[in-house]
Every structure is written in structure tokens, then in C-alpha cells.
Amino acid sequence: MKKSIFLLISIIIILVLLIFFAFKFSEADADDKSNLLDSDSFIYIAHRGASGQAPEHTMTSYQQAKELGADYIEIDLQMTKDKQLIAMHDDTVNRTTDGSGAVNEMTLDEIKELDAGSWFNEENPDYIKEEYIGASVPSLREIFEEFGDEVNYYIETKEPEDTEKMEEALYSLLKEYNLIGGSVDSSKVVIQSYSAGSLLKMKDLDDSIPLIQLQRKEQIEEMDSLEKFEEIGEYAIGLGPNFSSIDIAYVQNAETAGLLIHPYTPNEPVEISGLKSWGVNGVFTNFAESYVEAMKTEIP
């Protein structure tokens, strides 16, 4: 009798352990972000963080993007007068803070004194939060300190031709926080730029970092042959085009040239699902819910 009870208890324990480990492994698989740059992927890149519901390029915007399951958090880089890298899209602080002036004419301390959140509450009454008032502009170092390797970063070098040694400063921080050094496919960081020169500098610094060539409408219109896509493929793994300026032929040429396509910035589910049906590999969007809704759409 005792042997039977012992055997039953042992079986129950084994079953419980099997269920536990099966759950943990399935959970790990669900959270696995190691194949995000695979040609079969369709990823969510949080454009300036969760910028549809929080002030762009603030710590709360990035935190919300993380909580919403972003595959990558996008960070636009500007360099201050005292050579510090900060997260800001524009080359002035005018639009997204209560201050004014060019970023490269202000020190980090001066920029940290500005309110980078109140403007969002004024312009987005549906998303007002008191915590946004007084939000500060984060430095890239602060972002890495806060999130480390818990998130993936999609970083743009802004105005690199007018900013001396931006690429070197970025590379130094990436090394310091151990965010580079793996393979291209498993990289925690993607670097994007409109400047091919800036991307080539990054490639010279470390050719394991995946690079994306951004394109505005005028550059997209010049992509009139497969050879031009293949030329970009010599230094970049993909393209970041304005989504409203591309068509299915553009996507097919990119695919033939072995390039990923991450268009910016569709915010409606129908826009995202349409791009997905063409075969793009992910999108920049301000709204996670639009991406989630689009992922429910059946692709014929």
C-alpha cells in the first residue's frame, strides 16, 4: 500500500514538473526575440517609443513601449554642445519641450531643465496624464542604464554630416553597455540613417551591427532598377522607406535583393495589414494596438 502511494505521489510530482517546464519553455519561446531580422518576421518597432499615447522620446514612452511588447524601441539621436547623445527627433528643442534653440548649441544640463511632456497633454487630450508634466529629455546613456539588454534598440543617427564623431560616440556607448558583439541576426541594436556615409562609418566600426538605409519619397522614386537595391545591399541589411511612397514592386525588388523592409509610419490597422500583405518585414508605428489589430488580419 505504501509503495503504491509513494509511486502515485512520484508520478504526480513528475507530471507537475513536466507541466511547469513545458510552460516555462513555451513562455520563453513566446518572448524569444532572437529572430527578429529573419525574412519571415513581421515586427513592431515603437516609433519614438509609444509616441501615440505618451510624449515621444521620454522614458515613460519607452517604458510603455516595452510593456506593450515592442520588438524594438526607436531612438532618434542628436548631439548636444558638450558632445552628449540625447534622444530627440528634431535638431531644435522647440517642438517637444517648453524651451527653444538648437540642440547643438545647448549643453545636456540645459536641456535636462526643460519640460518635454506638457506639450503632449495639450495636443492629445485623450491621453492626458499628470505624470507627463515635467518629463525630461533622456540621454542615450540614461536609456541604456534604465533598460540595458531588456529591450532591443533601433537607433537613428540624425544630422550626422553636421555632427562630428556621432558614430564614434554611439559605438563607444554600445560597447560600454555590452549591446553589440553578437551576430547580425541576433543583434540587440539596429542602426538606421538617411545618410549612407553614416551607415558606412558604423560598418567600419563594427560590421556585425545591422544597418538600415532610410529613404524619403525622393530617394524611393530613384529606386528604378534592381541594381540600385543590390547596391544598398552591399552595406545594409534593409530599407526603411516612407510607407506612403512605396508599392508592391518596390517590396518585391527589395526582397529579390535580399533586403528587409521596415516602412515608417503607418498608424492605422488597414495600412499595416496592407503592408504586411505585400511582404514587408515589420513597421514603425506610434500605436501598438494598430499593429496588434493588423496581425489578426488574414493574408490571402
* Residue 239 neighbours by CB under 8 Å, 6+ apart: 212, 213, 214, 215, 229, 232, 254, 259, 260, 261, 262
Angle between helices 166-176 and 196-205 (to 10 degrees): 40
Whether 97 contacts 120, CB under 8 Å: no
**What nine digits make up the cell of 4?**
503504491
Measured between its terminal Cα atoms, the distance across the chain in Å is 61
- Catalytic residues, by residue number, are 47, 89
CA distance 244 to 261: 13
The closest alpha carbon to 142, from 41, 206, 258, 63, belongs to 63
Q: Which residues of 134-147 are buried (b: 16+ CB within 10 A; e: fewer)?
A: ebbbbbbebbbeeb
The closest alpha carbon to 280, from 45, 29, 32, belongs to 45
To which residue does cell 518596390 refer? 250
Angle between helices 140-147 and 166-176 (to 10 degrees): 20
